[in-house]
Amino acid sequence: MELFEKTIKSDLKYEGLIINVRNDLVELPNGKMAGRDIVEHPGGVGIAAITDNNELLMVKQFRAGPKKVLLEIPAGKLEKGEDPKVCGMRELAEETGYTSSEFFKVAETYSSPGFTDELIHIYVARGLRPTQGAPDEDEFLKIEKIPISELKEMVDRCEICDAKSVIAILMSEKYMYREE
Amino acid sequence: MELFEKTIKSDLKYEGLIINVRNDLVELPNGKMAGRDIVEHPGGVGIAAITDNNELLMVKQFRAGPKKVLLEIPAGKLEKGEDPKVCGMRELAEETGYTSSEFFKVAETYSSPGFTDELIHIYVARGLRPTQGAPDEDEFLKIEKIPISELKEMVDRCEICDAKSVIAILMSEKYMYREE
């Protein structure tokens, strides 16, 4: 079965500071026409920052979508043309004040591919060291260190409900430090 | 530290078929003003449908956001006021032609809480049985059964890159059937 949709026409409907919204007219595999609303997003990076005690650095912050305070992994948006790894290391330092000696990608996920092109790159950071830097003035964040084992229980109780953070927590177990 | 943002004003910027976009003026915890673009979404349901052989039912389909064919768990949007469990059972039948004897929630995740209120409810379905129903005429889908062990390797290789599907695959291991 053919699955591909062909874009016939694309109209920009809203130009925001971070997102744009367009409406596409597409031709379905059976030749019928359909409309698609697409949110264009620059993409982002999330970091599972694992301490020497097998905790993750977590960030508590207010989120405009659900209008709630959520507990999430450190994360940030990509600047235009920015390398995701550079973005991730920058965001980790800005949000938590930590640098890392190991920083590697473990996943790439589309947040909600039915309506947005947002792609989030998920990295693991290990070998964490605190820096002197102060967090950005307009970032309102609380940093917490929480054991990975406890975070997994919080996921099971739906107490952590940010998609990228759930993925990072479930994937981080295999990158934990083992006792010698 | 105070984290809460107070909404001062809210303007509807785009009214789509499924999503709406609004621009909010918010007061930050330090009294400064900032703008927030928010995509309103009805939310959805995704299903980790586990066969008696510890495979998941997977759906291959074209996705308008990234303009790619992705491999995902069965999923669908909530109708206004619909119970997520009812929606999930309906979508499972419509997309795959299977019903289930056990159907329970394992997670609730915000897709991208920085810019959208979309909440996805993730269920596990077990005790799967095929029905006679034909899939919807305008759904262009290919159904595949893939062992959970293989899906985990595909996640590690970034071959499955839909956020809700990655979560469902990583969570489904503990609901697998064990050999007696």
CA–CA separation, A93 and A75 (whole Å): 11
Section B39-68 average pLDDT: 98
Element (H, E) at B139: none
The answer to whether A137 is a known catalytic residue is yes
Quote the percentage of chain B above a pLDDT of 90: 91
B34: exposed, middle or buried (Cβ count in 10 Å: 0-12, 13-18, 19+): middle
Residue A138 has pLDDT above 70, yes or no: no
pLDDT of residue A1: 76
pLDDT of residue A139: 74
> What angle, 0 to 180 degrees and rounded to 10, lies between the N-to-C axes of helices B163-172 and A163-172?
40
pLDDT of residue A179: 75
- Residue among A2, A137, A179, A180 flagged as catalytic: A137
Q: Which residues of A touch B24 (CB under 8 A)?
A: 64
pLDDT of residue B134: 61
Section A8-13 average pLDDT: 98
CA–CA separation, A135 and A133 (whole Å): 7
Q: How many angstroms separate the CA of residue A151 from the nearest CA in chain B?
A: 13
* Average pLDDT value for chain B: 95
Predicted confidence (pLDDT) per residue in A13-33, tens digit: 999 999 999 999 999 999 999
Q: How many angstroms separate the CA of residue B55 from the nearest CA in chain A?
A: 20
* Average pLDDT value for chain A: 95
Element (H, E) at A93: helix A84-96
Those residues whose C-beta lies under 8 Å from the C-beta of residue A75, and which sit 6 or more positions away, are: A44, A45, A46, A47, A59, A91, A95, A120, A164
- Range of lowest pLDDT (A103-107, A132-136, B18-22, B127-131): A132-136
Q: What is the DSSP letter of A176?
A: S
Q: Would you state the torsion angle of the CA atoms of residues A70, A152, A47, B123, taken in this order, to the nearest 10 degrees?
A: -70
Q: What is the DSSP letter of B174?
A: G
Listed by start position, the domains of chain B span 6-40, 44-175
CA–CA separation, B166 and B180 (whole Å): 28
Element (H, E) at A149: helix A148-156
Given CA atoms A47, A50, A54, A56 in this order, what sign does their dihedral have?
Answer: negative
Q: Which CATH number fits domain A44-175: 3.90.79.10, 3.40.309.10, 3.90.1150.10, 2.40.50.180?
A: 3.90.79.10
The interface predicted TM-score (ipTM) is 0.96
pLDDT of residue A180: 62
Q: Is A170 helix (H, G, I), strand (E, B) or coil?
A: helix
Residue B179 has pLDDT above 80, yes or no: no
Residue B71 has pLDDT above 90, yes or no: yes
pLDDT of residue A152: 97
Section A99-104 average pLDDT: 98
Residue pairs between chains A and B whose CB atoms are closer than 8 Å: 219
Q: Is A67 helix (H, G, I), strand (E, B) or coil?
A: coil
Element (H, E) at A171: helix A163-172
pTM for the structure as a whole:
0.96
CA B88 → CA B43, B74, B94, B112, distances in Å? 12, 9, 10, 21
Residue B37 has pLDDT above 80, yes or no: yes
DSSP-derived pairing of the beta strands A20-27 and A55-63? unpaired
Q: Which residues of B touch A66 (CB under 8 A)?
A: 110, 113, 117, 119
pLDDT of residue A12: 98
Section B4-24 average pLDDT: 97
Section A49-76 average pLDDT: 97
> Cβ–Cβ of B111/A112 closer than 8 Å?
yes
CA A96 → CA A16, A39, A120, A132, A159, distances in Å? 28, 29, 19, 11, 21
Alpha helices in B127-172 (DSSP H): 148-156, 163-172
Predicted confidence (pLDDT) per residue in B113-169, tens digit: 999 999 999 999 999 999 876 666 667 999 999 999 999 999 999 999 999 999 999
- Residue among B40, B94, B137, B150 flagged as catalytic: B137
Phi, psi of B87 (to 5 degrees): -60, -45
pLDDT of residue A137: 65
Confidence band, pLDDT 50/70/90 cuts, at residue A59: very high
Section B72-89 average pLDDT: 97
